[in-house]
């Protein structure tokens, strides 16, 4: 067990699989334990979509991801500070992680159709980026037209206001298609920004842990360089960000050389990956936590995860199917409602459909991760 | 206590106020007791909006109103019959009442912008009425273009399929502005339709109770005639429908002469009224139950009911208000979240906002009705 510079934050390695890089651990935070490997649900605006935090706590969701960019714009980080921080604001008992806002502003600057921006399906929500410099990024809020300067320092200050258990340094998001020279420039700037973020963080640790973000796109040498540089700074953990490849194959190749290059005694996190097809292989590659909005978004579109695979609720074959979503599931939705009823709610465009489906998929993810931890403990994967 | 022709259905008068027509009673149904006076929440599509039935049961909602028209169109009454009836379909433990569908098809025919149609805010949901005759109403489903004939017999058959505890005969909905001659024609047809509905019901009582619907618009003589005619048929209760006046004053005048003309030993129901400004006076006029979508709709628009009056959550004064919605409220929303957090959720257009607000307003209504019953028991109103 290695202590962090952050009081109340430590990573405990419980078991290293003899068959793979998969490992079981426990991250201790000021708001309790995160068993690893684990799935991190995304609650962009300080709530999961269609599910309140009381219910998320009851479901056993150990780590929730909130987005600093969105919260700076609405309701503002200062307001959340006044509320006593994110945990008090949304009344969450368990740990929270926030990002730096970098991903969102650069997605905006590139006119990129990132999932989260796409999912809003609302042009006015996109705002605009006015200037990118060594200092940081100046952008205009989509909500009130206010100009916001996001720099390593302001991002960390905002994350201090939010008060999540784990925070992330400000970084640059280069596009997938980029020349090696430009990627190197971006990597160097990201490293300067992450160092500035860490310095800002250390001025007021505030019982928070900071994870670095490893960059370098799909370039093996630059990933290695990023692991070396950031691994020598006293971050509490390591997130893997930037472009992770254009398909699963590239992702898994990348993890094969990135994960072993990370400090083994610190927790790692894979940013924005957590679809069902990737999870087990990421865990086998040694990933401790990963966040993804897919399980909750799929639920809102009527795609439910079951022990028999994905179930598309709107499929006509479920119209008269009065069985539960998944006979092996013990969630509130499965205990109370049938496939036919849920299909009806989706067809009638009832909000209740989204809530019930989200509860189910979240329960599924939590159980899946528990099963993976059990498999690792038995050296089955 | 008077028994109904329906097994397991009876109305028990517990206390008649010495100060007014207000009374406390208990309606016994196959799915449990409805304490009266009580508020009936509207769950048009076999769910309350933004709240699942498990939660509604937990909140203590004793009677829920579902709309036959909507359920015939989606998912179809036959499908709900296959599911074992509405209670099994939506997994509701407590009583349900369904209407006949008449209100919706006539709103459609009149091109009327009834609240419930307006609230869909979606032209394609309105469908079209093709023919009105002595037989009934032929309309085209907005969902699949299918033609549906709604008659006293098909409405009752659909309500048999749905299997609610209380059902309602098919009636005609005349507009507010109508000549006495036309109103009389409509009243006579409604009486013929209600008699046909009752006959159809009695062929297969199916453990359901049937409430008549008193018509006659704002015409005192015709209301009296309707009470006399329908009061002599063996309905299990009496709903007051049709035009109830253009304002509260007209409504209260109408109740003053209609309620005493109803059989005193049977429960009554006021259709579509249940806004906060009317409830106490309706109770004082002797109303036992009343349904209204206002409390749940208001919640979805950020209007919350409190012991201090209505609270408009989007008001800028609540931006930094970290107090609970209502310090006197013990609901899950008030126990867990602040005004500032809920305002944020509404501003961020999060579905969670609607669910939390709906839970609060429903809890408020249930508590309000309990307090009114206590006041009546003490002869305070």
Confidence class for position A144, pLDDT limits 50, 70, 90: confident
Q: Average model confidence (pLDDT) for chain A?
A: 93
Average pLDDT over residues A297-313: 97
Q: Which CATH number fits domain A2-292: 3.20.20.105, 3.90.850.10, 3.40.50.720, 3.20.10.10?
A: 3.20.20.105
Q: Which run of H or E residues covers position B64?
A: strand B64-66
Chain B positions contacting chain A at CB under 8 Å are 45-54, 70, 74-75, 79, 82-84, 89-91, 319-320, 322, 332, 336-338, 340-341, 343-345, 347-348, 350-352, 354-356
3-class SS of residue B141: coil
Residue B340: per-residue pLDDT = 98
pLDDT for residue B107 = 84
Give pLDDT, residue B4.
59
Kindly list the residues from chain A whose CB atom is less than 8 angstroms away from the CB atom of residue B320. Answer: 79, 82
CATH topology of domain B10-117+155-292: TIM Barrel (3.20.20)
pTM for this predicted structure: 0.93
3-class secondary structure per residue, A105-166: HHHHHCCCCCHHHHHHCCHHHHCEEEEECCCCEEEECCCCCCEEEECHHHHHHHHHHHCCCE
Three-state DSSP class for B201? Answer: helix
Mean pLDDT (whole number) for A260-279: 95
pLDDT at B122 over 70: no
pLDDT at A308 over 60: yes
Question: What does the pLDDT read at residue B111?
Answer: 64
pLDDT in tens, B216-233: 999 999 999 999 999 999
> How far apart are alpha carbons A363 and A359 in whole angstroms?
6
| CA-based nearest residue to A227, from A206, A256, A185, A248 | A256
Annotated active-site positions of B, please?
99, 291
> For B72-89, what is the mean pLDDT?
97
Give per-residue pLDDT as tens, B125-147: 456 888 899 999 998 888 888 89
- The reported pLDDT for the residue numbered A128 is 83
Burial of B118 from C-beta contacts in 10 A (0-12 / 13-18 / 19+): exposed
Q: How confident is the model at residue B120 (pLDDT cuts 50, 70, 90)?
A: very low
CA–CA gap between residue B293 and residue A234 (Å, rounded): 57
Give the model's pLDDT for residue A5: 65
pLDDT interval class at A4 (50, 70, 90):
low
pLDDT of B115 higher than 50? no
> What mean pLDDT comes out for the span B257-280?
96
Name every residue in A having a CB less than 8 A away from some CB of B.
45-54, 70, 74-75, 79, 82-84, 89-91, 319-320, 322, 332, 336-338, 340-341, 343-345, 347-348, 350-352, 354-356
Q: Say if residue B381's pLDDT is above 70.
A: yes
Q: Are A173 and A107 in contact (CB under 8 A)?
A: yes
Cβ pair B322:A82 closer than 8 A: yes
For residue B91, list chain A residues with Cβ-Cβ distance below 8 A. 336-337, 341
Q: Do A336 and B70 touch (CB under 8 A)?
A: no
Q: Is pLDDT at B50 greater than 70 in this prediction?
A: yes
Instruction: Say which DSSP state B324 is in.
Output: -
Contact B271, B240 (CB under 8 A): yes
Distances in whole angstroms, Cα of residue A13 to Cα of each of A1, A23, B80: 7, 7, 52
Answer for the pair A337, B91: CB distance below 8 angstroms, yes or no. Answer: yes
pLDDT digits (tens, 9 = 90+) for A204-214: 999 999 999 99
- pLDDT band of residue B119 (cuts 50, 70, 90) is very low
Pairing outcome for strands A166-167 and A209-214: parallel
Burial classification of residue A16, based on how many CB atoms lie within 10 Å of its CB (0-12 exposed, 13-18 middle, 19 or more buried)? middle
The predicted model gives B235-258 an average pLDDT of 95
From chain A, the residues in CB contact with B47 under 8 A are: 345, 348, 350, 352
Chain A residues inside the 8 Å CB shell of B45: 344-345, 348, 350
Q: Within a 10 A sphere around the Cβ of A352, how many other Cβ atoms?
A: 30
- Per-residue pLDDT at B94 exceeds 80: yes
Determine phi and psi for B148, rounding to 5 degrees. Answer: -125, 130
Spell out the domain ranges in chain B: 10-117+155-292, 312-381
Tokens 């973000």 label which residue? A213
Distance (Å) from the C-alpha of residue B158 to the closest C-alpha of chain A?
Answer: 17
Cβ separation A332–B54 shorter than 8 A: yes
List the beta strands (DSSP E) in B2-51.
2-3, 10-16, 23-29, 32-36, 38-42
Distance from CA of B88 to the nearest CA of A (A): 9
Please say if the pLDDT value at position A125 is more than 60. Answer: no
Contact check, Cβ <8 Å, B91/A341: yes
Residue A122 has what pLDDT? Answer: 45
Min distance A200 CA to chain B CA atoms (Å): 27
Separation CA A376–CA A286 (nearest Å)? 11
Residue B142: list chain A partners with CB under 8 A: none
Q: Are the Cβ atoms of A322 and B82 closer than 8 angstroms? A: yes
B118 by DSSP, 3-state: which?
helix
Once rounded to an integer, what is the mean pLDDT over residues A252-263?
Answer: 97
Q: Which residues in chain B are contacts of A53 at CB distance < 8 A?
A: 336
Q: Could you read off the pLDDT of B99-111 as tens digits, one per residue?
A: 999 998 888 777 6
| Residue pointed to by tokens 């006197």 | B328
Instruction: List Cβ neighbours of A83 (8 Å cut-off, separation of 6 or more).
Output: A89, B322, B338, B340, B341
What's the pLDDT score for residue B116? 38
Q: What is the mean pLDDT of chain B?
A: 93
At B2-16, the pLDDT tens digits run: 445 677 899 999 999
By percentage, how much of chain B surpasses pLDDT 90? 85
CA distance B84 to chain A (A): 10
Continuous segment of H or E residues that includes residue A315? none
**Pairwise CB contact (< 8 Å): A341 & B54:** no
CA distance A358 to chain B (A): 12
Confidence of residue A358 (pLDDT cuts 50, 70, 90): very high
- Active-site annotation of A, residues: 99, 291
Q: pLDDT digit string (tens) for A157-207?
A: 999 999 999 999 999 998 888 999 999 999 999 999 999 999 999 999 999
């Amino acid at each position: 067990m290695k202590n962090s510079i952050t009081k109340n934050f430590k990573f405990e390695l419980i078991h290293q699989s003899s068959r793979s890089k998969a490992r079981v651990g426990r991250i201790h935070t000021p708001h309790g334990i995160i068993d690893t490997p684990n799935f991190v649900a995304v609650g962009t605006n300080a709530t999961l979509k269609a599910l309140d935090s009381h219910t998320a706590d009851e479901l056993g969701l150990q780590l929730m991801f909130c987005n600093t960019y969105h919260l700076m714009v609405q309701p503002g980080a200062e307001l959340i500070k006044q509320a006593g921080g994110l945990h008090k604001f949304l009344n969450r008992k368990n740990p929270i992680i926030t990002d730096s806002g970098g991903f969102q502003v650069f997605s905006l600057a590139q006119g990129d159709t990132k999932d989260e921006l796409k999912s809003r399906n609302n042009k006015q929500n996109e705002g605009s980026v006015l200037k990118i410099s060594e200092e940081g990024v100046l952008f205009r809020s989509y909500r009130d037209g206010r100009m916001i300067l996001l720099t390593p320092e302001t991002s960390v200050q905002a994350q201090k206001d939010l008060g999540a258990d784990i925070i992330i340094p400000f970084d640059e998001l280069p596009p997938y298609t980029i020349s090696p020279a430009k990627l190197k420039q971006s990597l160097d700037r990201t490293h300067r920004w992450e160092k500035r973020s860490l310095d800002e963080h250390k001025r007021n640790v505030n019982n928070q842990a900071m994870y670095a973000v490893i960059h370098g796109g799909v370039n093996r040498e630059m990933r290695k360089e990023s692991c070396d540089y950031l691994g020598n700074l006293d971050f509490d953990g390591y997130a893997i960000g930037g472009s992770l490849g254009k398909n699963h194959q590239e992702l898994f190749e990348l993890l094969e050389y990135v994960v072993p290059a990370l400090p083994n005694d610190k927790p790692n996190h894979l940013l924005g990956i957590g679809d069902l097809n990737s999870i087990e292989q990421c865990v086998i590659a040694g990933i401790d936590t990963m966040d993804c909005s897919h399980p909750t978004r799929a639920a809102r579109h009527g795609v439910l995860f079951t022990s028999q695979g994905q179930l598309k609720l709107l499929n006509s074959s479920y119209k008269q199917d009065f069985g539960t979503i998944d006979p092996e599931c013990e969630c509130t939705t499965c205990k109370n409602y049938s496939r036919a009823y849920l299909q009806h709610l989706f067809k009638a465009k009832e909000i209740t459909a989204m809530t019930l489906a989200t509860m189910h998929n979240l329960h599924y993810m939590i159980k899946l991760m528990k099963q993976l931890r059990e498999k690792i403990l038995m050296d089955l994967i």
